[in-house]
Structure 1
Amino acid sequence: MPLLGTRPDGFVYASVLSACSSVGDLEQGISIHDEVRASQFLDDPIVQTALVDFYAKCGRLEEAGMVFEAMSRDRDAFSWTALASGYAQHGQPGRAIQIFHRMDLEGVGPDAFTFSSILGASYAQNGHMVEAMEMFHRMVLEGVRPLRDTVTWNAMLGAYVQLGHSRATIGFYYRMNLEGILADSFTFSSILGACSDLRDLELGKRVHERAVSIGQANVVVKNTLLRMYARCARLDYARRVFEEMVGARDSGSWNSMISGYVQAGRPQEALELFHRMDSCKSSRKDPVSWNAMIAAYAQHGDMAEVTDLYRRMNLEGCLSGTVTFVSILIGCSRAGLLEESIYQFGSMSSDHWIPPVVEHFVCVVDLLGRAGRLDEAEELVETMPVESRLKFGAWKSLLAGCNIHRTSEEALRRIESRSRASCGNERLVLGTLWRSL
């Protein structure tokens, strides 16, 4: 436009700032702001709101606040919401709440977008459910017109799901139906996740039927269905859904089904699906499916298969990770392969740059304990680079090793004393275990 001699107006500036915020181009946006300062549009409410939104989305909250405070007039719901959601999205829920209350005090009525932005970005992620419910009920009492908006209701559902309030999620879903709010795929995924947590098969089946009847059973919903049926121990239902997803399966579909068979102790069916996924051009095995198969064989102590799968995983360019080595070490433990366990434990950091976590230490402590190398096991527990309270599983494995080898009472008392001193609330459990030895 400048090359053609055309001067931008406020709408153009606002549009370009919106584009800058969408792609995170902070430098270009600041350049546009400089240009606005030299123009007649510096006091244009549309441009000012766009600037607030731009700085907020780019995480430059101080600049966003300065532009906002300079808006002596025409601060509408859009500008307030832009600033509040910026604070919410960048981990400052307290500031978002303050902006919301200031908005209320200045007589600016929030709309559905204000509520859904703050609910989704702030309250759902930070556990402020009391404030979230107060905001939501205000929408009801004040008759905010776009209240009957699926996005707003979904924000509340998402908050309950993230915080693990499964029963509240279901109650909210029933209320949503009574209010005549049309559910979408996000709604169904949320409620099916709650059914999965509660192992509520009957409700899950009804939600499944409802999603199909209104055309909202997309691949995301069906993947959630697979996990729900698997956790409810109905792999026959899960398999039926899976087989219906011809041409629509993604890696999540395969992984959910394979993991379901693994968790149910049915490795042969998991392996059959795993090989079908080799042969399917549209599906690439990712770490989740590899790890699921390795875990299945590890649980049965079949280290030949574990080793073969691990080798093939690396050959196909799929990087192993923390979960992979947990399974390998569990397999070593099941098979009683102490030296192999120690080798794999050492190779994690030296060959793969994977720092060991508690689960890895527990596996090695378990093997050392069962092999009668109790002094080494105790030293490993003492030197684990984790918080004391996280050593509960390791101390428990060591005490079990003491039981196997009938350690002297003096040694038992020493170990029990150290374990109880370091494990906080779990000390009574450890004490009970010790007394049973």
Structure 2
Amino acid sequence: MQLQGVAPDRVALIAALGACQDPSRLAAGVGIHSRITEAGLQGDIVISNALVNMYGKCGALESACEIFHGVPRNDAISWNGMISLYAQDGHSREEALELFRRMHGEGLTPNKVTFLAILSAVSGARGLEEGRKIHTQVVESGYSGELSVGNALIDMYSKCGSLEDARKTFAGMDEKNKPDLVLWTAMIAAYAGHGDYKEAFELFQQMQDQGLKPDKSLVSIGNAIVHMYGKCGNVADARKMFDKMKERDTVSWTTMIAVYAEHGYDREALQIFKVMLLESVAPDKVTLINVLDACSNVSGLAQGRLVYKQFVESGAHELDLVLGNAVARMFGSCGSLREAREIFESLAARDVVSWNCLITAYAQHGSFEESLRLFRRMLEECVKPDEVTFVGVLSACSHGGLVADGCQFFVSMVQDYQIPAEEIHYGCMVDLLGRAGRLAEAEELLSRLPCAATNDVMWTSLLSSCKLHSDLDRGKRAAKKLLAMVPGDPSHLLALATIHAASGEWKEAMRIRKEVMERCSGAARGGAGGMSRIEVNGQVHKFVV
């Protein structure tokens, strides 16, 4: 138009400003503003409103403010636009409230758009009283029955920390409006946002009982409730929420699988994954990682291998670093070291987790020398080990009888890599020294540790070593220490009985064994017992032993 020498008219200028709604278009918007000034149209209220909107959307709030205050008589659209910009800015919410008060003071009546804008600016405990005042004006203006305003009020009260006011607003909506999905979503989100998952769950159930089908936003809230129940350790309620969700997405299934896996219900995690596939829900990478971890925990090699095969055949995802580590960890944990190594070597890039998976797998399954060779290769490739790396390395040294190497690696961990020794590292050292028959050093190490740093696993390790090397006096001390830490544990009592018997103290040994028999008999009647797992034909079975 300008190239043809035709001056743009009012409508064209407004349309052009509407096309400049992004910070990247600010320069173009400023150019159009210049044309408006040249055309003498800066006093036009419609054009002024368009300029305010353009500058606001481009992030130039000060310029928008100058335009707004330069107009002698702003209309409701002007005020609404400026209030909205201040409210959206986040740092200018007080200015939004001040502008709202001024608008009211100048005799302009707020409309629905005004209320929606100003309610979004109110948040925090300090804003509650202001929010209640605005709510009163909403009622007086006749907008309290409007769904959009009701949603905004519920959201505002939630952000101000008053679930009671949000509840009252929800309950006070007209019955004809109550079935609105957005209204239910707002109230459920308010409960969930404040950690009141029981109320959120019950309201979610009520909503579905009324025949409302959740949309994507409500499915996301349902997923969040399942996740939070899991984080709180309430697996049963997480499953109840999951089962009540009539609409589920991939995240829903993945979240439930993760909750089960996180709390040791690995078999249940694998079972629900099967149902997910039967319902033709495509897993994503996060799903696969959780499922592979569950397979690792139950030594479910056949199932893990099948999951990996399905992943390869689907071609839906690349075997990236995170997923590759999960596959390698699964094969390694299940004892298939060859397949774990193949995955490891196929990775285009490896991080410390990749190396840890292999080092730990070799240590767990008896390939101690290979575990240490891999560790040395890791150092040669300039990958810095972490605390998990040294758990695998020290474990390899302990079970492989490599005492000198283990002591050297422990010192290197603390001094060279500045990694503080934790309980598990000390436990490895106690086991290392004990297996090698250096029981005095193992006991001395335990005695030097603060009470908070020792646990029954360390003392059990020392006790086992004492039995192995027939150190009766030290074994008695270890057993008594364990009985003080874990009173009445049958395994510790039996170990103590064995030590007494080896010392020729048959009467005391028989007394302890009798006590153990009585306790075990009572436990059997009560249904208690140890748990073991085995995989048969791709199914992982648990049974009491």
TM bucket by the smaller chain? 0.7 to 0.9
In 2, Cα distance between the equivalents of 1:3 and 1:131?
46
Matched, 1:240 2:309: yes
Matched, 1:71 2:134: no
CA gap of 1:49–1:331, structure 2 versus 1, over 3 A, is farther
Partner-residue secondary structure (3-state), 2:350: coil
CA displacement at 1:263 relative to structure 2: 0.9
Aligned residues of 1:51 and 1:67 also touching (Cα < 8 A): no
CA gap of 1:158–1:12, structure 2 versus 1, over 3 A, is farther
Partner-residue secondary structure (3-state), 1:182: coil
In 2, Cα distance between the equivalents of 1:10 and 1:420?
73
Partner-residue secondary structure (3-state), 1:406: coil
Aligned residues of 2:214 and 2:247 also touching (Cα < 8 A): no
Moved more, 39-48 or 202-211: 39-48
In 2, Cα distance between the equivalents of 1:10 and 1:83?
21
In 1, Cα distance between the equivalents of 2:274 and 2:304?
13
Matched, 1:333 2:398: yes
CA gap of 1:412–1:285, structure 2 versus 1, over 3 A, is same
Aligned-residue sequence identity (percent) comes to 23
Matched, 1:359 2:429: no
Amino acid at match of 2:480: S
Partner-residue secondary structure (3-state), 1:72: helix
In 2, Cα distance between the equivalents of 1:101 and 1:15?
29
- Residues 285-335 of structure 1 deviation map (CA, whole Å, 9 limit, x = unaligned): 233222111101222444443334334434555442221111111011111
State the TM-score, normalizing by the size of structure 2. Answer: 0.61
CA gap of 1:104–1:114, structure 2 versus 1, over 3 A, is closer
Alignment of 1:4-403 (within 5 A): 5-7=66-68, 9-15=79-85, 18=88, 20=90, 29=91, 32-33=92-93, 35-36=95-96, 39-40=99-100, 45-46=115-116, 48-53=118-123, 64-75=124-135, 77-78=151-152, 80-81=154-155, 84=158, 99-105=162-168, 107=171, 111-116=184-189, 118-119=191-192, 121-123=193-195, 130-137=198-205, 139=207, 143=210, 149-166=218-235, 169-170=238-239, 172-176=241-245, 181-193=246-258, 197-200=265-268, 201=270, 203-212=272-281, 216-228=282-294, 231=298, 232-233=300-301, 234-244=303-313, 246=315, 247-277=317-347, 280=348, 284-316=349-381, 318-385=383-450, 387=452, 391-403=455-467
CA displacement at 1:102 relative to structure 2: 4.2
Partner-residue secondary structure (3-state), 1:265: coil
CA displacement at 1:112 relative to structure 2: 1.4
Amino acid at match of 1:256: A
State the TM-score, normalizing by the size of structure 1. Answer: 0.74
CA displacement at 1:336 relative to structure 2: 1.0
CA gap of 1:192–1:35, structure 2 versus 1, over 3 A, is closer
- Paired position in structure 2 for 1:412: 475
Aligned residues of 1:416 and 1:434 also touching (Cα < 8 A): yes
CA displacement at 1:33 relative to structure 2: 4.0
CA gap of 1:137–1:245, structure 2 versus 1, over 3 A, is closer
Amino acid at match of 1:253: L
CA displacement at 1:169 relative to structure 2: 4.6
Partner-residue secondary structure (3-state), 1:327: helix
Structure with larger Rg: 2
Partner-residue secondary structure (3-state), 2:447: helix
- Residues 254-303 of structure 1 deviation map (CA, whole Å, 9 limit, x = unaligned): 122111101111111100111111xx3xxx32332221111012224444
Aligned residues of 1:238 and 1:257 also touching (Cα < 8 A): no
CA displacement at 1:374 relative to structure 2: 2.2
CA gap of 1:364–1:198, structure 2 versus 1, over 3 A, is closer
Aligned residues of 1:226 and 1:253 also touching (Cα < 8 A): no
In 2, Cα distance between the equivalents of 1:12 and 1:226?
53
**Unpaired segments ≥5 residues, structure 1:** 21-28, 54-63, 87-95
- Paired position in structure 1 for 2:497: 435
In 2, Cα distance between the equivalents of 1:382 and 1:108?
67
Aligned residues of 1:239 and 1:257 also touching (Cα < 8 A): yes
In 2, Cα distance between the equivalents of 1:157 and 1:225?
17
In 2, Cα distance between the equivalents of 1:366 and 1:327?
13
CA gap of 1:10–1:372, structure 2 versus 1, over 3 A, is farther
In 1, Cα distance between the equivalents of 2:416 and 2:429?
18
Partner-residue secondary structure (3-state), 2:279: helix
Give the RMSD, CA atoms, in angstroms: 3.5
CA displacement at 1:174 relative to structure 2: 4.1
Partner-residue secondary structure (3-state), 2:67: coil
Amino acid at match of 1:158: H
- Residues 322-353 of structure 1 deviation map (CA, whole Å, 9 limit, x = unaligned): 21111111011111122222222222222222
Partner-residue secondary structure (3-state), 1:414: helix
In 1, Cα distance between the equivalents of 2:132 and 2:237?
43
Aligned residues of 2:131 and 2:157 also touching (Cα < 8 A): no
- Residues 139-169 of structure 1 deviation map (CA, whole Å, 9 limit, x = unaligned): 557x595756322332333234434555655
Moved more, 322-331 or 294-303: 294-303
Moved more, 187-196 or 251-260: 187-196
Aligned residues of 2:406 and 2:429 also touching (Cα < 8 A): yes
Amino acid at match of 2:466: C
Aligned residues of 2:96 and 2:118 also touching (Cα < 8 A): no
Number of aligned residue pairs: give it.
385
Partner-residue secondary structure (3-state), 2:421: coil
CA displacement at 1:392 relative to structure 2: 0.9
In 2, Cα distance between the equivalents of 1:173 and 1:72?
36
In 1, Cα distance between the equivalents of 2:487 and 2:153?
48
CA gap of 1:190–1:379, structure 2 versus 1, over 3 A, is same
